Amino acid sequence: MTIDHVAIVVKDLEATIALYTNTLGFDQVYRETIADQGVEVVGLRAGDSIIELLRPLDEESPIAKFRGDAPTKLHHTAYRVDDIEAKIAQLTANGVRMIDQHPRDGAHGNRIAFIHPKSTGGVLIELCQPR
Ligand code: ZN
């Protein structure tokens, strides 16, 4: 398993993109709206590492409330897996609570599933199987 990306929820998407690209030197590699998750997603690459910026489409949504008044806040870490169904089954068999019992479509064509933070000591973890 390897880190696929780290996701940060932001208030001002354009300002944060400018910070990561102009100031920190990341390249923007994708930008899309994931309507069923209520976010606009921007993928930024530096070397082999991807940071995802998440902009809530609705400022009343849970992800916007999680960010609160902070300009940005770390939202989740995502780990790449080869077989997401097998990993969900293995974790569930070990008593891990999943938010997603079945994979759903994430940004960049990935199939994703979230582990419940109650099973991870409070950190939101995403399993991510690349397209
Ligand atoms: Zn993610």
Each residue's pLDDT tens digit, 61-93? 999 999 999 999 999 999 999 999 999 999 999
Tell me: pLDDT of 1 over 90: no
Tell me: pLDDT of 95 over 90: yes
Which of 105, 107, 126, 108 has the alpha carbon at shortest distance from 117?
A: 126
Report how far ligand 1's centroid is from the alpha carbon of 104 (Å). Answer: 12
CATH topology of domain 2-129: 2,3-Dihydroxybiphenyl 1,2-Dioxygenase; domain 1 (3.10.180)
Report how far ligand 1's centroid is from the alpha carbon of 41 (Å). Answer: 9
**What is the sign, positive or negative, of the torsion defined by CA atoms of 32, 33, 37, 41?**
positive
Q: How many CA atoms lie within 13 A of 11 on its CB side?
A: 9
Q: Is residue 23 classed as helix, strand or coil in its secondary structure? A: helix
H/E stretch holding 85 reads: helix 84-93
CA distances from 2 to 36, 53, 59, 81 (A): 26, 19, 32, 8
Report how far ligand 1's centroid is from the alpha carbon of 54 (Å). Answer: 9
User: 99 φ, ψ to 5°?
Assistant: -75, -45
Report how far ligand 1's centroid is from the alpha carbon of 113 (Å). Answer: 9
Strand 27-34 to 2-10 pairing: unpaired
Report how far ligand 1's centroid is from the alpha carbon of 88 (Å). Answer: 16
What is the share, in percent, of the chain residues with pLDDT greater than 70? 100
- 131: confidence class by pLDDT, cuts 50, 70, 90: confident
Distance between first and last Cα of the chain: 16
How far apart CA 90 and CA 115 sit, in angstroms, is 12
Q: What is the pLDDT of residues 38-67, one digit of tens each?
A: 999 999 999 999 999 999 999 999 999 999
Name the pTM for this structure. 0.92
